Amino acid sequence: MRIDPEHFRVREHSHVKLKKCATTIPALYRSDAHLQELLREHISQLSDIQQVLYAANRYSLLVIFQGMDAAGKDSAIKHVMSGVNPQGCHVHSFKHPSSAELEHDFLWHATRFLPERGQIGIFNRSYYEEVLIVRVHPEILDGEGLGSDHSEQDQFWDGRYQSMVELEAHLSRNNTRIIKIFLHLSKEEQRKRFLARIDHPQKNWKFSKDDLTERGFWDDYMKTYELCLSSTSTAIAPWYIVPADDKENTHLIVSQIILDTLGSMHLSYPTPTAEREAELQSFRTCLAT
């Protein structure tokens, strides 16, 4: 069974209702052995095409992961990208902004970590936090020197959406392809994962009081995600709503989305010029003696 990423893609100008989007779907694998076989195949294909991306040095890929706490962002990145050459892939996790970052516009921090040509860049969270957590907690705007009164103005948030879409259009024109993945976790599955973090000592470090506090704003987050996904999914930088209750399914879907996107770029190794061919032959001659 081939996974079709189009089933999870958010169409441009659509109105997302997350309650209508599945957090779990039937298993895309027949058994644990079949799952491992599929993942190995995806990882091998991704490794091969990443080498071509790196060698061609014309395009880059930016993959953005967003989701609620415990949605599996770290897990998806770890499993899906496990076969990629570290020289050609860089992961950046977005934390609370520093004082220096707060002195700049809200996109400044993210643009410093955009992937170079030939590279895959992964954002674990991203500049989209500026219309997610900041919208749920508008007092953050005070720290940005803007004032929390902006939070009541739809045009303020629309302006931020527009800035993000325009940034992504600029990147696309300059050969950076963008994939945005929202890991859609149910509130019940989050509860189970939080309990696992409490009950298993090796997972205790993952849980904090802040996680529980943010869970109390679940409905507010769902609303802000709906607005964000509806306003910023475009043909050149689409959002994908990926069911996240079953991590195994999640990994298969995410890896297929990345593979299909890279495949659509029609990458190939650079063709040597006549001068380069002659140079290589001269090297061969030297090595033959």
pLDDT tens digits for range 37-46: 999 999 999 9
Q: Poorest-confidence range of 33-47, 143-157, 249-263, 273-287?
A: 143-157
Distance of CA 39 to the CA centre of its chain: 18
Torsion angle of C-alpha atoms 37, 72, 90, 56, degrees rounded to 10: 40
Q: Quick one: tokens of 114?
A: 């955009």
Average pLDDT over residues 146-153: 77
d(CA 142, CA 140): 5
Comparing 11 with 150, which gets the higher pLDDT?
11
Ordered structural domains, the chain, with CATH: 5-288 (3.40.50.300)
Closest by Cα among 236, 210, 255, 265 to 70? 210
Give the number of other CB atoms < 10 A from CB of residue 265.
16
pLDDT tens digits for range 100-111: 888 999 999 999
pLDDT tens digits for range 46-65: 999 999 999 999 999 999 99
With a cut of 80, say whether residue 289 has pLDDT above it: no
Amino acid 83: pLDDT: 83
d(CA 220, CA 137): 10
Amino acid 147: pLDDT: 76
Distances from the Cα of 192 to the Cαs of 10, 22, 69, in angstroms? Answer: 28, 18, 12
At 236, is the secondary structure helix, strand, or coil?
A: coil
Share of the chain above pLDDT 90, in %: 81
What pTM did the predictor assign?
0.93
